[in-house]
């Protein structure tokens, strides 16, 4: 089965909420994303401004994973935000689809399009994901160690500088200026 990629639209905010559960390591927990106040900044009203950008993958008609970002500022008190208006990224692959290269494929697709929009991307990530992100050119920010929002696991902020490029327009009806439905 091949992967199909789609841009996240404002009508697909539920995908962001569902995938945030996996990106925050809550899949084995009874904690709901909606019950964690600190996580609302990553999904509330997602897709309603040009500050949001994301891609999700379908495999066999099932959502397998997603990668998305929001431009946040100091006001939002995001653990991944280094500089105001810098996109803070999240990535998640459902457990049943892990170790199939979906995370890699999502990152490649996301980064190729994100380079037409952003100059810098940051992510707050557990230490266990550092090696994966380094493969894509992310670097650990010195002195950025902190505890994650939910499980209070040791996490780090990583960043990636992007080379500005034109959109590859991999998707039908793609417009870098139009994110809303």
Where in the chain does DSSP place strands (E)?
3-7, 52-59, 62-72, 86-93, 120-126, 139-140, 146-147, 154-161
Mind listing the pLDDT tens digit for each residue in 13-66? 899 999 999 988 888 888 888 988 888 888 888 888 777 899 999 999 999 999
Which residue ranges form the domains of the chain, and what is each CATH number?
A: 3-161 (3.40.630.30)
What token pair was written down for 62? Answer: 């099932």
Assign 6 a pLDDT band (cuts: 50, 70, 90). Answer: very high
pTM for the full model? Answer: 0.82
Distance of CA 152 to the CA centre of its chain: 19
pLDDT in tens, 125-148: 888 899 999 999 999 998 878 777
When pLDDT is averaged across residues 61-74 and rounded to a whole number, the result is 86
Handedness of CA 3, 175, 73, 136 (dihedral sign): positive
Number of helical H runs and strand E runs in the chain:
3, 8
């Amino acid at each position: 089965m091949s992967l199909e990629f789609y841009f996240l639209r404002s009508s697909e905010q539920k995908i962001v909420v569902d995938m945030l559960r996996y990106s925050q390591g809550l899949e084995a927990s009874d904690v709901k994303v909606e019950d964690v106040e600190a996580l609302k900044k990553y999904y509330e009203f997602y897709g309603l401004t040009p500050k949001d950008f994301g891609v999700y993958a379908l495999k066999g008609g099932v959502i397998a994973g997603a990668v998305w970002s929001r431009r946040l500022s100091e006001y939002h008190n995001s653990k991944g935000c280094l500089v105001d208006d810098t996109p803070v990224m999240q990535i998640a692959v459902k457990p049943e689809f892990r170790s199939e290269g979906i995370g890699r494929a999502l990152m490649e697709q996301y980064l190729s399009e994100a380079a037409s929009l952003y100059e810098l991307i940051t992510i707050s990530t557990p230490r266990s994901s550092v090696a994966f992100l380094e493969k894509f050119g992310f670097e650990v920010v010195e002195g950025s160690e902190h505890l994650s929002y939910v499980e209070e696991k040791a996490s780090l902020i990583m960043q990636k500088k992007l080379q500005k490029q034109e959109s590859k327009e991999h998707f039908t009806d793609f417009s870098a200026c139009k994110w809303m439905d």
